[in-house]
Structure 1
Amino acid sequence: MARGEGFVIIGLGTFGTTVATELARAGEHVLGIDRHERHVARVADELSEAIIADARDEDALREAGVGAYATVIVGIGEDLEASLLATMNARLLGVKRVWVKAKTRTHHRILLKIGADRVILPEQEIGRHAAQVLRNPQVRDYVSLGNGFHVVEYVASEDMDGWTLDRLKLDDYQDLRALGLMRGTEFVPCTSPETELKAEDKLLLLGRREDFRRFGDVL
């Protein structure tokens, strides 16, 4: 692995293990770190490296070579002190990108203050995601892009079979745009208002939450 590449996952609980193993399956070089032997043993065969170390100890992380990696993800949620110290130590070792899992809003604010690039509140993010999908059965998935913008995947119903994009009246919404649609494994660009939808097409729309709310009510 070249310097400035790869991922370090600190804390191999459910969240950290999931991130680590998914990155490893995608072919990334992943170093997993946890102070509990049983957590390390559980993923040792799946990651590039897995070691027992206390992330509160800057010297232990330096010895593990953490400073040579591009990204550190701190997955320690329950132990506030360990989470904060692991984050600060990653910064002290020169890691350019540090993402951290938080347990509470207070934890979130402190992590931002000490230099975390992104703070993840898994339960709240999953809860918001579930609420959006449950509210409109045609919403299959969505991604928040920041600044109020989202990409939402709508599934065309049987009633919408044969509809054209023009019939959706997207121009009635200030910030709503069709990016394209997935028809099975085929991507169909939405370059014409005459593009026809088929039942079960997955329509990808870019827009703001308020426009999506109004659009969903019309559907």
Structure 2
Amino acid sequence: MKFIIVGLGNFGAYLAARLTDNGHEVIGIDSDMAKVDSAKEKITHTICLNATDKNVVRNLPVSDTDVVLIAIGEDMGASIMATAVFKELKAKRIISRAITNTHETVIRAIGVDEIIHPEEETAERLSKKLEMKGVIDSFDISDGYNIVEVTAPKEFVGKTIGETAVRNRFNVNILTIIKMRNRPNIFGNMQERQKVLGVVSAQTMIEDKDVLVLFGEMNDIQKILDLNEE
């Protein structure tokens, strides 16, 4: 896929680098040359330009880009203006970062429905990790449903997914299992690494130190976490 990331602060630069690492073509844009220089070795293309200037932005391959992400966080005015410019140039898909409620209201008024709050989302995931013992990571879906990574309860170890009867007992599905394996790194030292099993079945065995990726409501998932307290 092709992406244009506007704003190469910490969030924008990291996202652009990750997308590049995953094989996508990314154009990273910022009006600050220092930020452009800092990111140029990690991103497919970097350009120093003012994304609020329609005459300049129209020279970008907007029509050939799958996603434009406005990642500007420090300057709300610049974020709103850049969003409006790409909207006017009929970008296929625009995702904008919002810092405040007012910021989000204005962006929605422009006609952008995909709005992200990276700081809030990170804080929410971290809060679950801190307050719920056994939670490794979590992702809110909607209406109280979450995808949560948890350490396999001792009661599940040595059993197949079918034998745990997790769906009938807790109304929770195990989407996949992450296996933790010690493997040598490039220096020959043993390092713990993850291996995702992919699609699992009722016959998949749960082992010690496995990480279960669960889907369900948080109050039901909490019942599984409580097993380690018994």
TM-score of Structure 1 vs Structure 2, range by shorter chain: 0.7 to 0.9
Identity of counterpart residues, as a percentage?
A: 28
State the match for 1:210 in structure 2.
219
Where structure 1 has 5 or more consecutive residues not aligned to the other structure, the ranges are: none
Q: Deviations over 1:113-160 (max 9, x none)?
A: 322242121221111101111122322222223343222121125565
User: Could you give the per-residue CA deviations for residues 35-91 of structure 1, whole angstroms, max 9, x where no partner exists?
Assistant: 111111112233222111111111111023334311111111121111111111111
1:47 is matched with which residue? 43
Kindly tell me: are residues 191 and 44 of structure 1, through their superposed partners in 2, closer, same or farther at Cα, counting changes over 3 Å?
closer
Q: 1:117 to 1:164 in 2, by over 3 A?
A: same
Q: Which of 78, 82, 85 is the matching residue for 1:82?
A: 78
Aligned-partner SS, 2:201? coil
Look up the equivalent residue of 2:216 and give its one-letter code: G
1:156-195 alpha-carbon deviations (Å, 9 max, x no partner): 2556532454446431334x21223233426275533x75
In the other structure, the counterpart of 1:126 is 122
Distance in 1 separating the partners of 2:108 and 2:170: 35
1:129 to 1:65, Cα distance in 2 relative to 1, 3 A? same
Query: Which residue of the partner structure matches residue 201 of structure 2?
Result: 191
The 5-angstrom pairing of residues 39-118 of structure 1 reads 39-118=35-114
Distance 1:188 1:96, change over 3 A: closer
CA distance in 1, matches of 2:131, 2:156: 19
Task: Could you list the structure 1 runs, at least 4 aligned residues long, displaced by more than 4 angstroms after superposition.
Answer: 157-160
How has the CA–CA distance of structure 1 residues 134 and 54 changed in structure 2, closer, same or farther, with 3 Å as cutoff?
same
Q: Does the 8 Å CA contact 1:97/1:117 hold for their aligned counterparts? A: no
Q: Is there any run of 5+ residues in structure 2 with no aligned partner, and where?
A: 181-194
TM-score relative to the length of structure 2: 0.81
- Give the Å deviation of 1:209: 2.5
- The CA RMSD over aligned residues, in Å, is 2.3
Match of 2:190 in 1: none
| Bigger shift: residues 18-27 or 100-109 | 100-109
